[in-house]
Structure formats: structure tokens, C-alpha cells
Amino acid sequence: MSNRKENEIKHGAAIAEHAADIWGWGSPSGQVRAKRRAQFIIQYGGIGKGTSVLDIGCGTGIFSRYFAETGAVVTSMDISPELIEHARKETVLPITYLVGDAEHLPFPDASFDVVAGSSIIHHLDPVIALKEAYRVLRPGGRCVFAEPNMMNPQIAIQKNIPFIKKMLGDSPDERAFFRWEIASLLQQQQFSSIVVFPYDFLHPMVPQSLIPIVSGIGKVLEKLPFVKEIAGSLVISGRK
């Protein structure tokens, strides 16, 4: 096993008890962000009743539960046994949780309608991970991910300065993507109908009372040329 994967397993064990807070999903604004992110993934993945979905890097299952609420058949996987244990404890919906490596998926070719993930590809070798996603998708299936945007100033600092990365709870090897970079990687793996766009100006530390105002301003900024490029996240999708 590579040092990178060992680091991710250790990181998962270290944060399992407070993972939602480390990832920014635990605060009131973080919960709003998570719901909106899930809605984008559901929309661009075509996730719905009867859809077979593989959620890679599922962590504690926050997004898996959103997918399952649509009536989709959800299989969720993470390399961290501790995170999977927490996901199982926090889930009442019929989701199958597995410990596994997203770079070596334990499934036959053409097994799923959708391969999805939130903030996972930047922890992996993206070429290998996208190749595996393509392999397990059925013809016409879609991959859909949300990832940190390297054009965002905070994320650029956080992912590139080691002591800040450690202070903010990142794993040692994680990174972020430029929009055109991840689109090119999908093209290399033969995905078609590729869509990549930046969104999200709502920070997880925004107080609850200010969420409606900041959300409204953010959605305006997402429509402005150039300004939208520094939003915090990317939605990424492609079809097999």
C-alpha cells in the first residue's frame, strides 16, 4: 500500500469522531452547503428511484443518505474503516457500506448507473480513479463529483501550504483542481458530455442569521463572468 493511502487511512481514523466539522458540513451554513451540493450531484447524475449509485469516498455517509432519499439503490465505499463504522451507525436507510479502495473498485465492469462522490477525487490519483469509475459504469452512465476549486484563494492557500493544511485538518496529500484540468482528465478517460462549473460562495463559518443574505449574494456572484471562477467548489460530470 502506498504512503498516500496509508496517510488517508490514518487521517480517517483521526477525524472519525468529528469528521463533519473538519469537512465543514456540521455548522448551520455547512448543512445548507451540503444539501445544495447533494442536489447538484443528484441533478447532474440523474439520480432517482431505482438508479444504482456507487458513492466513492463516502466518509460518514452524509451524501449517501441524500442519494438514498431519492429512492436510488446506493452502495457506498470508503478506505477508512472508522468512517464506514460511523456511516453505518448514522444511517437508517438501506445503504450498503463497504471498506474499499476507489482506485481498485471491487466490482465488475458495467455495474452502476452513477459513480458519485463529494470531495474525493482530490485525495486520489485522479487518472486511476476516473479510469475505474468509467470501467464500472454502464453504457450511458454518468460520473458526477464535487471537488474543491484551486482558483479559490482560501483553497489555494490551504492546499499548498503544509502547516495551514495540517492546522485545518486536511490529509497530507490532498489537493484541489482547476476547472480546465479536471475537464481534461475526464476527456482522457473517454467521458463525453462533460460539464464542469464553479459554484459556492457560502462559507461554513457564516452565522445562521446571515445564511439567506450570503447565499443570495453568492448565487448572483456565480453568474458573473470571471468572478464565478473563484467560487469554492466545482461540480464535475461526464457520461460513459
Predicted confidence band of residue 125 (pLDDT cuts 50, 70, 90): very high
pLDDT of residue 61: 95
Q: Give pLDDT, residue 63.
A: 98
Report the DSSP beta bridge partners of residue 177.
Answer: 149
Q: Which domains does the chain have, with CATH numbers?
A: 3-239 (3.40.50.150)
Beta pairing class for 192-199 and 112-118: unpaired
pLDDT number for residue 1: 63
Give the residues across from 53 on adjacent strands.
74, 114
pLDDT for the residue 43: 98
Q: How many whole angstroms separate alpha carbon 198 and alpha carbon 4?
A: 27
Report the pLDDT value the prediction gives residue 129, as an integer from 0 to 100.
97
Whole-angstrom Cα distance, residue 73 to residue 48? 9
pLDDT exceeds 70 at position 168? yes
Which of 58-67, 85-94, 160-169: highest mean pLDDT?
Answer: 58-67
The Cα 53–Cα 146 span in angstroms is 15
| Cα–Cα distance measured from residue 71 to residue 49, given in angstroms and rounded to the nearest whole number | 4
Query: What pLDDT shows up at residue 4?
Result: 80
Closest CA to 43 of 64, 70, 62: 70
Cα 86 from Cα 36, distance rounded (Å): 23
C-alpha cell at 69: 432519499
Which stretches does DSSP call E strand in 59-123?
73-78, 96-99, 112-118
Distance of CA 167 to the CA centre of its chain: 21
pLDDT at 178: 97
Does residue 173 have a pLDDT over 70?
yes
Segment 209-224 shows an average pLDDT of: 97
Closest CA to 233 of 124, 129, 118: 118
For residues 120-144, average pLDDT: 97
3-class DSSP state of 160 = helix
pTM above 0.85, yes or no: yes
pLDDT digits (tens, 9 = 90+) for 75-109: 999 999 999 999 999 888 999 999 999 999 999 99
Is the pLDDT assigned to residue 2 strictly greater than 80? no
Cα 94 to Cα 5, 50, 91, 97, 222: the distances in Å are: 28, 13, 8, 10, 35
